[in-house]
Amino acid sequence: MTCARPVKTVAIVGAGPGGATLAVRLRRLGYRVVLVEKATFPREHIGESLTGECAIVLREMGFGDAMDAAGFPVKRAVTVHGPNKLNRFRVPVQRLGEDGVIIPGQTWQVRRPEFDSLLLNGALAEGAELIRAEARGVLRRDGRISGLRLRDETGEDSDLTADFVADASGLQTFLSRSGVCGARHRGGYEKQVAFYGQFEGARRDAAPDDGATHIFYAARHLWAWFIPISSTVTSIGVVTPGALFKESGQSVQEYLTEQLASLHPELSERLREAQPVSETWSTSNYSYHIDDFAGDGYLCIGDAHQFTDPIFSFGVSNSVQEASLAAGAIDGYLTARSVDRMHPIHTYADIVSRAQARVKTLIDTFWEFPLAFLKLAHYDRQADIAELLSGRLYSQSAEMNEAGIIMRDLLAKRRVAGDGRA
Amino acid sequence: MPAANRDYLAAWLAAETDLSVTELTDTSELLASGVLDSLKIMDLTMAVESDLGITIPLEDVIGENFATVGSIVQMLDRLQAG
Ligand SMILES: Cc1cc2nc3c(=O)[nH]c(=O)nc-3n(C[C@H](O)[C@H](O)[C@H](O)COP(=O)(O)OP(=O)(O)OC[C@H]3O[C@@H](n4cnc5c(N)ncnc54)[C@H](O)[C@@H]3O)c2cc1C
C-alpha cells in the first residue's frame, strides 16, 4: 500500500451484536469506526438463543474461545412440541458438508448482558471508538447523509461527521424514524405480545442435550420458549395474540403464570419445581419491515429494518450475518468510483431482502400449514429444514434449498386460492 | 370407484386406530375426537401414497381435509380424479 488515502469514518448507531460485529469487520478493513450507543453496557436484552450459523460466524471472527470460556450453555437442537404429546419433532443444529453429508453442529444460548459486552469489548479491542450518546438525527451535505446529531447523557448536543452511517439500533429503527428510509410496514405478527422471565429449577434434557431449546405451541400463534441460559437458569417466555391477554383482564405477571401452567402439559411438567429469579418482562409491536433500508451513504442491519417473529430465534443470527455482508458493501461503496458506488449497496439490499423473505416463509408455513411443516421437518425434507433453522439463510445454498422452495410455492398457491381455506 | 377409497380408509382406521369399522359414518369425527393426531395423519398420507398411489400434495395436508371420514374420502376421490 503506497497511496495514503485519508482514512474514512463509518458511524454505527447501536452497539448490540449487529453493531459490534460490523465494527469488528470494518476495523479489519482499515476504517475508522465510531459506535454510538445510548445504553451503558452490560444491559439487559431479549434474544438469548443463537443459531448454528451464528456460532460459525462468531468463531470465524475469533470469538470462539471467549464464548466457550463464558460458560454459555451449548445448544445442539431445538425440539418443537405441538398441541398433543405425539406431535413433536427435534431439529438438530447442523451444517451440510460439500458433498451433502450432514455435519452435526452446535451453538450457544447466551446471557445477553454478558454476550453483548463480550462482542462490544472485542470491537473496542480492534480499535473501534465508542461514544455514549443517543443518535437524534442525521446530518446532510448536498442531500447526502454526512453524519449524526448526538445528545449525550448530560443533555449536551454534538455533531459526528462520517462518510457512511450504519443503523444497528434494533427495534428503535433509528434511520427509519429519522425519515431516511422508505415506508414502514406492519408485519404479520404485530398483534403478538411476549411475556418472559428467568427461572431456576426448570427440568432440562439429560446431558449433552441439557442446553437444548424447546418450543411449545398450543394453538395458532400461542406458544412458549424454553431456553437454558446458564447451568441453573432458564429463560421462559410466552407469546400470545394481544387480544387474548386483553380479554383475560390479568396482570402481566398473572398472565404469564397462568399460561405457563396451562399452555402445554410437558411445559408445566418441566416447570413444576421452577422458581422465578427475575421480574416479568413484556414486549409487543415488534413485527415490521422497512423499505429502502440501504441507500446512498447509509444502510440498516437486522432489527433496524425488519423483524418478523421470534419463534425460530433468528434475530441475533440475522443481525450478525447482515453486519458481515454490510461490511463488504460499505467497503465497496467507499472505495468504488462514484458512478459504481451504489452497486454493492443494491447487492446488499437484495441478498438481505431475500433472506428475510425466507424467514417469513418459514414462519408463515409453520403457522398456516402446521401439518405440512411437520411433514417437511420430520419426514420429507429433514436436512433442508435443519439447514434453514440453523440460520443459513443468506447463502447461495439457501437460494436452492428445496424445502424453502416448496414452502414458498405452498404459500403462493394459498394466496392464489384466496380465502378458500380460511 | 369412489367406494374403493372409502373401504381402504375404513380398513386403515380399523388397523391403525381405536375406531371400529362398524361405528364408521361419513360424519365420524376423526380430528376433534382424537382418533387422528398429526403423526397419524402423516402415517395415513404415506400409506395412501404407497397403497393407493395417490400423492397428497402439501397444500392438502391441512386439518380440514382430515376432519371426518367424509372429508378424507372426498379429498382422495378428488385427487384420484386428477
Ligand atoms: C420476544 C422476543 C424474543 C426473542 N428471542 C430471540 C432469540 O431467542 N434469539 C435471537 O437471536 N433473537 C431473539 N429475538 C430478537 C433479538 O432480540 C434481536 O433480533 C437482536 O437483539 C438484534 O440485535 P441488534 O444488534 O440488531 O440490535 P439490539 O441488540 O437491539 O441492539 C441495538 C442497540 O442500539 C441501541 N440504540 C437504539 N437506538 C439508539 C440511538 N438512537 N442512539 C444510540 N443507541 C441506540 C440500543 O440501546 C441497543 O443497545 C427476540 C425478540 C423478541 C421480541
Amino acid at A135: A
Among B41, B42, B58, select the one facing A410 at the smallest CB separation.
B58
Q: Quote the distance between the C-alpha of residue A419 and its chain's center.
A: 31
pLDDT of residue B29: 86
Task: Say how far apart CA B26 and CA B69 lie, in whole Å.
Answer: 5
pLDDT of residue A418: 59
Residues B6-45 pLDDT 10s: 999 999 998 998 877 677 888 888 888 888 888 889 999 9
CATH T-level fold of B3-11+26-81: 1.10.1200
Residues A18 and A159 in one domain: yes
A84/B contact by beta carbon, under 8 A: yes
Per CB-CB distance under 8 Å, the chain B contacts of A374 are 38-39, 42
Of A72, A319, A389, which is best to mutate to test ligand 1, by the most ligand atoms within 8 angstroms of its C-beta?
A319
pLDDT of residue A75: 97
Tell me: pLDDT of A3 over 90.
Answer: no
For chain B, domain boundaries: 3-11+26-81
Tell me: pLDDT of A246 over 80.
Answer: yes
Total count of domains within chain A: 2
- Tell me what the mean pLDDT of segment A185-193 comes to: 91
Residues A309-365 pLDDT 10s: 999 999 999 999 999 999 999 999 999 988 899 999 999 999 999 999 999 999 999
C-alpha A168 – ligand 1 centre gap (Å): 9
Amino acid at A357: A
pLDDT of residue A144: 92
DSSP notation for B6-41 = HHHHHHHHHHHSS--GGG--TT-BSTTTTSS-HHHH
* Residue showing cell 455533531: A159
Range of the domain at A310: 9-53+112-184+290-367
Kindly state whether residue A356 falls inside one of the protein's structural domains: yes
Q: Classify strands A192-200 and A233-241 as parallel, antiparallel or unpaired.
A: antiparallel
Residues A86-144 pLDDT 10s: 678 899 999 877 787 889 999 999 999 999 999 999 999 999 999 999 999 999 999 89
Kindly state whether residue A233 falls inside one of the protein's structural domains: yes
Of A284, A299, A315, the last residue of a domain is A284
Amino acid at A358: R
Task: Please give the grid coordinates belonging to residue A110.
Answer: 447466551
Task: Say how far apart CA A358 and CA A318 lie, in whole Å.
Answer: 12
CATH (domain of A313): 3.50.50.60
Chain A residue with CA closest to B65: the answer is: A421
Task: Say how far apart CA A334 and CA A105 lie, in whole Å.
Answer: 36
Task: Say how far apart CA A187 and CA B18 lie, in whole Å.
Answer: 43
The full length of chain B comes to 82
Tell me: pLDDT of A420 over 70.
Answer: no
Q: Which of A297, A295, A313 is nearest to A305 (CA)?
A: A295
* Residue showing cell 458481515: A324
Residues A213-227 pLDDT 10s: 999 999 889 999 999
A416/B contact by beta carbon, under 8 A: no
Kindly state whether residue A380 falls inside one of the protein's structural domains: no
Task: Say how far apart CA B69 and CA B64 lie, in whole Å.
Answer: 11
Tell me: pLDDT of A46 over 90.
Answer: yes
Chain A residue with CA closest to B38: the answer is: A87
Residues A305 and A159 in one domain: yes
CATH (domain of A198): 3.30.9.100
Residues A207 and A238 in one domain: yes
Residues A30 and A163 in one domain: yes
Q: How far is A109 from chain B (nearest CA, A)?
A: 30
Kindly state whether residue A140 falls inside one of the protein's structural domains: yes
Distance of CA A92 to CAs A219, A378, B30, Å? 24, 11, 32
Answer left, alpha or beta for residue A20, where phi above 0 means left and psi between -120 and 50 means alpha. Answer: alpha
Among B34, B37, B58, select the one facing A375 at the smallest CB separation.
B58
Per CB-CB distance under 8 Å, the chain B contacts of A370 are 38
Task: Choose between A66 and B4: higher pLDDT.
Answer: A66
Please report which confidence band the pLDDT of residue A232 belongs to, taking 50, 70 and 90 as the band edges: very high
Kindly state whether residue A41 falls inside one of the protein's structural domains: yes
Residues A211 and A265 in one domain: yes
What is the atom index within ligand 1 of the atom nearest the CA of A116?
A: 29
Task: Say how far apart CA A345 and CA A140 lie, in whole Å.
Answer: 19
Test A379 with B42 for CB contact under 8 angstroms: yes
Please report which confidence band the pLDDT of residue B1 belongs to, taking 50, 70 and 90 as the band edges: very low
Residues A44 and A169 in one domain: yes
Q: Which of A56, A73, A68, A71 is nearest to A208 (CA)?
A: A73
C-alpha A68 – ligand 1 centre gap (Å): 22
pTM, rounded to two decimals: 0.94
Kindly state whether residue A27 falls inside one of the protein's structural domains: yes
Residues A261 and A305 in one domain: no
Residues A373-407 pLDDT 10s: 999 998 899 999 999 999 999 998 899 999 999 99
Restricting to A residues 370-409, those with a Cβ less than 8 Å away from any Cβ of B are 370-372, 374-376, 378-379, 406
Test A378 with B42 for CB contact under 8 angstroms: yes
Residues A340 and A197 in one domain: no
pLDDT of residue A421: 44
Task: Please give the grid coordinates belonging to residue A132.
Answer: 455514549
Residues A28 and A125 in one domain: yes
Kindly state whether residue A212 falls inside one of the protein's structural domains: yes
Among A87, A375, A417, select the one facing B61 at the smallest CB separation.
A375
* Residue showing cell 443470527: A317
Kindly state whether residue A388 falls inside one of the protein's structural domains: no
Chain B: which residues have CB within 8 Å of chain A?
34, 37-39, 41-42, 45-46, 58-59, 61-64, 66
Residues A174 and A200 in one domain: no
Phi–psi pair at B54, nearest 5 degrees:
-105, 120
Residues A304 and A258 in one domain: no
What is the atom index within ligand 1 of the atom nearest the CA of A317?
A: 11
Amino acid at A202: A
Residues A211 and A267 in one domain: yes
Note whether A247 and A193 are within 8 A (CB).
no
